[in-house]
Amino acid sequence: MDELRVYRDIQMRTGGEIYIGVVGPVRTGKSTFIKRFMDLMVLPGIDNVHEREQARDELPQSAAGRTIMTTEPKFIPKEAVSVHISDDIQVKIRLIDCVGFMVDGASGHMEDDKDRMVKTPWYEDPIPFTKAAHIGTQKVIRDHSTIGLVITTDGSFGEIAGESFAAAEEMAVGELKQIGKPFIVVVNTIRPYAMETQELCRRKEEKYDIKCLPFNCDQLKQEDIQRIMATMLLEFPVSQIDFYTPKWFDLLPEEGEVKTAVADTAREYLMNVRHLKDVRPMQEKLTCPYIKKCFIETVSMSDGKVIFHLEVDQKYYYELLSEWMGMPVKGDYAFYRILRQLSENQTAYSAVSQAVESARAKGYGVVAPEKTEVLLEPPVLIKHGNRYGFKIKAKAPSIHMIKAGIETEIAPIVGDQAQAEELITSMNNSQEQDPKAIWDTLIFGKTVGQLVEEGIQTKVTRMSENSQVKMQEAIQKIVNDGNGSVIFIII
């Protein structure tokens, strides 16, 4: 990740104030890390010469051996200094050193074989050095830092074995986890690239579920610190995850199988993602039969927002279209063909829709002819008295719709009176529970619905072709020759 972007993102996540609490067991190189960090990252960015020299004078002391060098929490520098990272990035940086949690084998906390007593700002009376170190370290973790850095060691330098740091290390990690501040673990070692060191870090990552990096704090380089800061960013919490789906996905039924399965998959992913570091490793959770592909569009380190794009299999899109249109849609070509057909049908229906509505409402409707349907005959000369003129005859088809009520009945003979009454009672009871149930009642192998449809169809087709022609001629006479009223029609 670009160095400037790292600091810009951290600036936004911490409100522009980066207070790094450097904690962990005693004698692990916390002060050494702070000195290297200040030398490489902070001091060169302080423009004011006086402030830069003052900050240098405030750097902690460090040395090898068993003796504890830090005796109290220390803010370095005493006041947070504004550091210009670039033209548009200015952050306030302050590191916080602390004694650390005690480990077996360290010295400096005892005096004449007794607990060394020290005065602290938290109690009026002196308290044991070990207790003061514990309280001070807790305060750095809980009250003063915005992000944490646990410095531990494998025991490869100094005179204390690596196993001796385990309990204090666990205590520091536990404190940071309890309050939920972002942090990582750095293993201070003289063999950062050795296989056994890499394996040690892997075990710690598995144990704490926190990123663990090996470095030699005494030989830190700028790119090492950049890597540490970039890794810290991944420990910040995810604030929001947006899932973008195809537009047509929104039209699916809320309780439908496809939308429910995709929503459940997204919900399971959300339950497993807490920090930015989880976003990509947990991406495998975003799988279900309906998701064809998913990819991350954005992971915003500055505010913790993540954007996913989910591609849902197109076949469910065509299934949706098929359901809506009442006909199979198997691809884009078929869809466009159906659209064209429906458009033509819509144009045709719009010409007769008013007549249909009128026929349903009043019993009679007329479709007036379109201009394109009107045929004009050639003009002919006419004489009116001693004057002359001309006549043009126009012909056009009109469609007349008549609503005619059709009556049909079914009257099956089912047996004696008791059997008939029993069947009637059964049908009435079914209809009370479900008004549509009577349509499915079986009578001699056919449903009531089928028998009624057959009766209606028989009546509809009963008018002969000859009668239809005569009815057409009668309406034409009424329209063209009548005065708007009908006395009687003889067919």
Task: Calculate mean pLDDT across residues 215-233.
Answer: 88
Query: Alpha helix (H) ranges present in 64-165?
Result: 129-139
pLDDT score, position 109: 47
pLDDT score, position 123: 67
Task: Calculate mean pLDDT across residues 445-450.
Answer: 82
pLDDT score, position 490: 58
Task: Calculate mean pLDDT across residues 238-258.
Answer: 87
Greater confidence, 195 or 465? Answer: 195
Greater confidence, 362 or 128? Answer: 362
> Measured at the alpha carbon of residue 102, what is the angle toward residues 135 and 163, in degrees to the nearest 5?
140
Instruction: Tell me which long-range contacts 109-116 makes (C-beta under 8 A, separation of at least 24).
Output: 109/68, 109/133
Greater confidence, 309 or 323? Answer: 309
Residues with Cβ within 8 Å of 264's Cβ and at least 6 positions away in sequence, in order, are: 288
DSSP-derived pairing of the beta strands 394-395 and 375-376 = antiparallel
Q: Does residue 184 sit in the same domain as residue 265?
A: no
Residues with Cβ within 8 Å of 114's Cβ and at least 6 positions away in sequence, in order, are: none
pLDDT score, position 65: 45
Greater confidence, 426 or 490? Answer: 426
Residue type, 441: T
Cα separation, 314 vs 287, whole angstroms: 16
Q: Does residue 110 sit in the same domain as residue 222?
A: yes
Highest mean pLDDT among 48-62, 70-84, 183-197, 226-240: 183-197
Say if residue 96's pLDDT is above 60: yes
360 part of a folded domain = yes
Residue type, 18: I
Cα separation, 243 vs 262, whole angstroms: 10
The counts of H helices and E strands in the chain are 13, 21
pLDDT score, position 208: 93
Q: Does residue 111 sit in the same domain as residue 224?
A: yes
Q: Does residue 14 sit in the same domain as residue 48?
A: yes
> Which of 8-12, 219-223, 356-360 shows the lowest per-residue confidence on average (mean pLDDT)?
8-12
Query: Alpha helix (H) ranges present in 415-462?
Result: 417-433, 448-460
334 part of a folded domain = no
Greater confidence, 435 or 111? Answer: 435
- Give me the chain's average pLDDT, please: 82
pLDDT score, position 219: 93
486 part of a folded domain = no
Domain that residue 217 falls in: 3-233
Task: Calculate mean pLDDT across residues 140-151.
Answer: 82
Q: Does residue 156 sit in the same domain as residue 199?
A: yes
Task: Calculate mean pLDDT across residues 278-307.
Answer: 84
Q: Which of 210, 233, 256 is the last residue of a domain?
A: 233
Q: Does residue 205 sit in the same domain as residue 101?
A: yes
Q: Does residue 145 sit in the same domain as residue 248?
A: no
Task: Calculate mean pLDDT across residues 413-427.
Answer: 82
3-state secondary structure of 410: coil
The pLDDT-based confidence of 194 (bands split at 50, 70, 90) is very high
pLDDT score, position 3: 54
Say if residue 484's pLDDT is above 80: no
114 part of a folded domain = yes
Looking at residue 222, which CATH number applies to its domain?
Answer: 3.40.50.300
Q: Does residue 169 sit in the same domain as residue 308?
A: no
Say if residue 71's pLDDT is above 60: no
Say if residue 470's pLDDT is above 90: no
Greater confidence, 440 or 224? Answer: 224
> Which of 75-84, 183-192, 239-248, 351-360 shows the lowest per-residue confidence on average (mean pLDDT)?
75-84
Which helix or strand (DSSP H or E) is residue 173 part of? helix 166-179
Highest mean pLDDT among 159-173, 196-210, 373-387, 435-449: 196-210
Q: Does residue 223 sit in the same domain as residue 248?
A: no
Instruction: Tell me which long-range contacts 41-50 makes (C-beta under 8 A, separation of at least 24).
Output: 41/83, 41/93, 41/222, 41/225, 42/77, 42/81, 42/83, 42/93, 42/95, 45/83, 45/84, 45/85, 46/81, 46/83, 47/84
215 part of a folded domain = yes
Q: Does residue 205 sit in the same domain as residue 284?
A: no
Say if residue 214's pLDDT is above 90: yes
Q: Which of 299, 318, 337 is the last residue of a domain?
A: 318
Concatenate the DSSP letters of all residues of 236-258 into one string.
SBP-EEEEE--GGGGGS-TTSHH
Structure tokens at 360: 């349903």
Q: Which of 318, 339, 374 is the last residue of a domain?
A: 318
Point out which residues pair with 365 in neighbouring strands: 401
pLDDT score, position 7: 61
336 part of a folded domain = no
340 part of a folded domain = no
Greater confidence, 418 or 120? Answer: 418
pLDDT score, position 212: 95
Cα separation, 477 vs 132, whole angstroms: 115
The answer to whether 123 touches 135, Cβ cutoff 8 Å, is no
pTM (2 decimals)? 0.60
329 part of a folded domain = no
Say if residue 335's pLDDT is above 60: yes
The answer to whether 236 touches 13, Cβ cutoff 8 Å, is yes
Greater confidence, 491 or 18? Answer: 18
Q: Does residue 78 sit in the same domain as residue 159?
A: yes
Greater confidence, 122 or 380? Answer: 380
| The total number of structural domains that make up the chain | 4
Cα separation, 280 vs 211, whole angstroms: 15
pLDDT score, position 206: 94
Cα separation, 166 vs 172, whole angstroms: 10
Cα separation, 130 vs 108, whole angstroms: 10
Distance set, CA 227 to CA 184, 275, 453 (Å): 11, 17, 79
> Measured at the alpha carbon of residue 240, what is the angle toward residues 239 and 245, in degrees to the nearest 5?
165
Q: Does residue 308 sit in the same domain as residue 438?
A: no
The pLDDT-based confidence of 66 (bands split at 50, 70, 90) is very low
pLDDT score, position 105: 59
